[in-house]
Amino acid sequence: MASLMETKEIFRNADAVCFDVDSTVIREEGIDELAKFCGVGDAVAEMTRRAMGGTVTFKAALTARLGLIRPSYEQVQKLISDNPPELTPGIRELVNRLHQRGVQVFLVSGGFQSIVEHVALQLNIPTANVFANRLKFYFNGEYAGFDETQPTAESGGKGKVIAHLKQQFQFKKVVMIGDGATDMEACPPADCFIGFGGNVIRKQVKEKAKWYITHFDELLKELEER
């Protein structure tokens, strides 16, 4: 993993920046909010803590949590309309600045496509730049599982997305920013990882990340100074 100085230099010269979404770009964990909305919040929050700590595989945790929630199409849409995700302070300004510099911005999330696309629209990020998990529903709107073929549905999936982006767009320098173990393990193939603790601090990530920030202003400042 790159040193602090190298990480800052890569960030300043990045072709693309990939953000995790839950507890990074937005303040909440989308799956926990959906669980609360569906009345199984406590049980699912405990599973999320274990998954983010890296003690169980992501796919196993996702399968178990969704098996408890079993959200309908209507519940997912109502969650987005009644309790829209709250953007983390500073993210809008940071994404705008990256766009002004010609940097491609991607949202790479273990969360759900419908919620992440809603976030992308608020940040002027094209939906083609969203990589997330797709929920499946029966014709009557009942929960029918999730698309297990999506790379983001399993541990190591974010790294697969980044490898795909580098191959497709010939990016030389790609940065991954996030709060969890699944974000940190995406480096490599990401050229550097920046840990984010503005909403929740994961001990393992804080200890291992060469650059750990608690506010997006720290990244904006780095761009403005150079």
Q: What is the pLDDT along the chain (226 residues), one digit of tens a residue?
A: 568 788 788 888 889 999 999 889 998 888 888 898 888 888 887 776 666 555 677 788 888 888 889 899 999 999 988 888 889 999 999 999 999 888 999 999 888 888 899 899 999 999 999 999 999 999 999 998 888 888 887 777 888 899 988 988 888 888 899 988 888 888 889 888 888 888 877 877 777 878 888 889 888 887 886 5
Domain 32-82 has CATH 1.10.3720.10: no
The set of catalytic residues is 20, 22
Contacts of 95 (CB under 8 A, 6+ apart): 105, 123, 124, 125
Ranges of CATH 3.40.50.1000 domains, the chain: 4-28+85-224
SS3 at position 192: strand
Q: How far apart are CA 101 and CA 37, in angstroms?
A: 39
Ranges of CATH 1.10.150.210 domains, the chain: 32-82
Domain 4-28+85-224 has CATH 3.90.1520.10: no
Question: Residue 147 has which token pair?
Answer: 């698309």
Question: Residue 123 has which token pair?
Answer: 């940040």
Q: How far apart are CA 210 and CA 109, in angstroms?
A: 22
Specify the pTM.
0.86
